[in-house]
Structure 1
């Protein structure tokens, strides 16, 4: 499970910013680690106004995944080196990402620093039963690793523009391949209404047909079921049930089904799902009910997690209970230097109701 993510000098982020999914004693899921237990949240929402940097955080997680997947993906990621542009000094510094996660009871910390066509630093640490071990560290000065890891020969073959973790995954190294596989399991869903309904339903038809039928019939969409063979939604009409094609469905329905197509399988196998602008494509009520699926211990046995962005936190659900706990809510805002800052408190808007329209009107008046 994802525990923490840190980023620095990436797009609108200049200084180190951190998201944590660790929960208090009464929140999240109980997850055994070493000789103890951690509380980890299945949800993390980043909220804020337009251009506050919400998408930057999710894109950073996706970029870190690309840096560990394969050589070609690493090359593409470093080619898109995007440091903070509003500070001349930051343009000369590398971008840094670091992620903490749990895998098979071991707590890992993996990090990477890069510039264009260059991996400037890379490190992998592991903590098992309160014993922290540096599996390897790599920078411009050299390479260090545990003697028993036998990574020296692999490091010698690693190109300056390639991460050691991606190379270890390619050769199925017994230590590195599982770590790289967990990072490859991070999936991004781009909700594009009206474009992938058929493939989304096809993906769900065999394994999740009953669950999908239950969800769409309870979502107040006018849908009473799913026609399994032709993969169409069934609506109630004057003369009885009618199966309609994807062209007849609303964009919001299509976007929600697209989200379910990615989410439902992850409830069974686990993993991390990234969704940007969740409330822009999916109705807030449907989005809120989707978040409840992940919070349910019985419906989410594999402890899947969702990291998403939206403009404002969701209000209480139909039962009057909050959809998100306070510790699952983060706010993105710009500081006085134009850099994104993550925090727990919402930033006050600089524009009140009607201010923008009033300023535009005044700007048109003769001087």
Structure 2
């Protein structure tokens, strides 16, 4: 489970910004027991809201990049090559991008982070926290890699010395390392779900056939979409609709974009409720009806329906009424840089302001 995420010098983010999912017990989050007997409470939801171009998508994209840096060596190399610093400040272009995540893996609390520039990971660290102390598994910079002897990272340390464009954690994941593999798996389970308009161009219903379940049929047929059932007899999934002459099955391109988006979200969400993991959804309300988006949030917030303690970090234009104040974050801009705040900023246009400016421009004679 993700506890805290920090990002610095990435796209529209200049200074360190922190997104936390730690919650205050007992009713604000899901209970997560630690291996040494303590319990932390973690929110299953974090919503990022704000005006257009405020940086909502940047925060979510940063989480996706963190996943790439930890998941595999090839993904990490690709992410490091796509160095995207804050470009409105000349000094920021010379500084590395930094990511850091605090998370739980098998009841143990870890902090992993890295800093990278164009094609080079310049720093990386992995720390484990117990009840009273911190164990430094490894720390890496341009001077070398310092490791905890019992973790046995000598071969991987030599590999990153020869290839500084990847992360030691990603190499550990590739090698199935007994210590690093399970840690990397938590970050590799971060999944980006596409529910924006146009996803039907790449996501047909056929890709859902191997993952179809009775729970998915139930949620689809009860969603007020006019769907009476599902035909999965063939290789493709076809939704059965009520019609004047009886039930009729439609193919994928007979369905609305909203229906396709709801199916894609559910197909990722339902397995996560059982096994856990973090889902990222940008523009949650761009195509989904607010009532459907609210239902997805309710599924995650119910401990009985979410035994795997799955989490969702999403961006949206409007704040759903079902999300708590502590689960709301607002992306606001100051001096061109995005910051995360607990309160919204007044960055909108007054009614008619833009049209008035256009009228003035057209009717004001030149000097």
Q: Given the two structures, how large is their TM-score scaled by the length of structure 2?
A: 0.94
Partner SS for 1:278: coil
Residue from 234, 243, 250 that aligns with 2:240: 234
Q: Give matches, 1:1-367, under 5 Å.
A: 1-25=1-25, 26-33=27-34, 34-158=36-160, 159-191=163-195, 192-195=198-201, 196-205=203-212, 208=213, 210-230=214-234, 231-315=237-321, 323-335=322-334, 337-367=335-365
2:333 & 2:14 partners in 1: Cα distance? 11
Q: Which runs of 5+ in 1 are unaligned?
A: 316-322
Task: Give SS of 2:71's match.
Answer: coil
Alpha-carbon shift at residue 140 of structure 1 (Å): 1.6
Please identify, of 134-143 and 301-310, the stretch whose mean Cα deviation from structure 2 is larger: 134-143
Q: 4+ runs of 1 displaced by more than 3 Å? A: none
Q: Is contact 2:50–2:317 with CA below 8 Å preserved after alignment?
A: yes
Deviation at 1:152, TM superposition (A): 2.9
State whether residues 213 and 224 of structure 1, in contact with CA within 8 Å, keep that contact through their aligned partners in structure 2: no
1:146-195 deviation digits (Å, cap 9, x = unpaired): 12122233212212112111111122111111111111111111224433
Gaps of 5+ in 2: none
Cα RMSD after superposing both structures: 1.3
CA distance in structure 1 between the aligned counterparts of 2:108 and 2:285, rounded to whole angstroms: 35
Question: Structure 2: how far apart are the matches of 1:344 and 1:288?
Answer: 21
Q: Equivalent residue of 1:280, what SS?
A: coil
Conserved? CA contact 1:267–1:294, under 8 Å: yes
CA distance in 1, matches of 2:146, 2:295: 48
Distance 2:271 2:149 in 1: 39
Kindly indicate whether the alpha-carbon contact (under 8 Å) linking 1:84 and 1:91 is maintained by their aligned counterparts in 2.
Answer: yes
Number of aligned residue pairs: 356
Q: Assess if the C-alpha contact under 8 Å between 1:107 and 1:128 holds in 2.
A: yes
Q: Residues of 1 paired with 2:351 and 2:142: CA distance?
A: 52
Kindly indicate whether the alpha-carbon contact (under 8 Å) linking 1:197 and 1:257 is maintained by their aligned counterparts in 2. no
Counterpart Cα distance in 1 of 2:194 and 2:127: 32
Task: Report the alpha carbon displacement of residue 99 of structure 1 after superposing the two structures with TM.
Answer: 0.3
Contact 1:119/1:161, CA 8 A, preserved across alignment: yes
Task: Confirm or deny: 8 A CA contact 1:333 1:341 kept in the other structure.
Answer: yes
Q: What's the CA shift string for 1:249-287, capped at 9, x where partnerless?
A: 111111111111111111111101111111112111111
